[in-house]
């Protein structure tokens, strides 16, 4: 199965619909040394235009293995699975790449497209190759109280990564 280049806006619509229906998509990053990929589920993603560039923004808590990988390597892929992949979304959202090789546990086949340094998962409907061009952290003092109480009882504040979409692909 192969991927072809796709318009980022068209692919973006599919990504947002999948987030709405399935509740999550995949965030794939690479270990800088071993080049082994890791995948985690993300339920939050923004997609739009900033600094005159197409951007995907993801929020990752510092406790995630993915956080360490993104701090070391500025490239990531967002992969959007078919809506039938609920089990895989749950698994990749509840186990850590620190303990488990999720690619092999899920039987995911990593597909490298062109020279992009992070692979896509075979079978995804669409995917985006991104480069982090800005990162920041949510600040406790800038929230309204209800968000703080609901999402940060343990002060595990997300880092926010702005990834410029360098390439987008769709299956086929
Ligand atoms: C539906 C769903 C959505 C999630 N969304 C996020 C998210 O946006 N950001 C985040 O930091 N963790 C999110 N998580 C939790 C991570 O996917 C989970 O902690 C995962 O095990 C981290 O993997 P890693 O340690 O290999 O990076 C989500 C989990 C699920 C099930």
Q: What is the pLDDT of residue 33?
A: 83
What residues pair up with 169 in beta bridges, in sequence order? 5, 127
Ligand 1 contact via 7 beta carbon (within 6 Å) = no
pLDDT class for 34, splitting at 50, 70, 90? confident
CA 47 / ligand 1 centre spacing (Å): 18
Kindly tell me if the per-residue pLDDT of 53 is higher than 80: yes
3-171, superfamily in CATH?
Electron Transport, Fmn-binding Protein; Chain A (2.30.110.10)
Q: Among all chains, which residue has been given the structure tokens 């990749």?
A: 92
Q: What is the pLDDT of residue 82?
A: 97
CA 127 / ligand 1 centre spacing (Å): 18
* The model's pTM: 0.97
Q: What is the pLDDT of residue 32?
A: 85
Distance, in Å, from the CA atom of 100 to the CA atom of 150, rounded to the nearest integer, reads: 29
Position in ligand 1 atom list of the atom nearest CA 100: 26
Q: What is the pLDDT of residue 10?
A: 97
pLDDT in tens, 80-97: 999 999 999 999 999 999
Ligand 1 contact via 23 beta carbon (within 6 Å) = yes
- CA nearest ligand 1 atom 8, residue: 42
pLDDT in tens, 109-128: 999 999 999 999 999 999 99
CA 39 / ligand 1 centre spacing (Å): 9
CA 89 / ligand 1 centre spacing (Å): 9
Kindly tell me if the per-residue pLDDT of 1 is higher than 70: no
């Amino acid at each position: 199965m192969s991927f072809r280049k796709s318009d980022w806006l068209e692919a973006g619509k599919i990504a947002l619909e999948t987030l709405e229906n399935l509740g999550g998509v995949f965030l794939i990053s690479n270990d800088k040394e071993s080049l082994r990929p890791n995948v985690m589920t993300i339920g939050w993603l923004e997609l739009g235009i900033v600094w005159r560039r197409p951007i995907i923004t993801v929020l990752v808590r510092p406790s995630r293995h993915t956080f360490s990988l993104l701090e070391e390597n500025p490239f990531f892929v967002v992969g959007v699975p078919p809506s039938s992949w609920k089990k895989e979304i749950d698994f990749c959202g509840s186990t850590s790449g620190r303990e488990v090789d999720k690619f092999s546990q899920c039987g995911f086949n990593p597909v490298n497209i062109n020279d992009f340094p992070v692979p896509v998962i075979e079978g995804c409907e669409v995917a985006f190759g991104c480069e982090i061009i800005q990162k920041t952290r949510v600040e406790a003092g800038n929230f309204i109280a209800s968000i703080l109480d609901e999402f940060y009882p343990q002060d595990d504040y997300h880092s926010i990564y702005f990834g410029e979409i360098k390439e987008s692909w769709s299956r086929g």
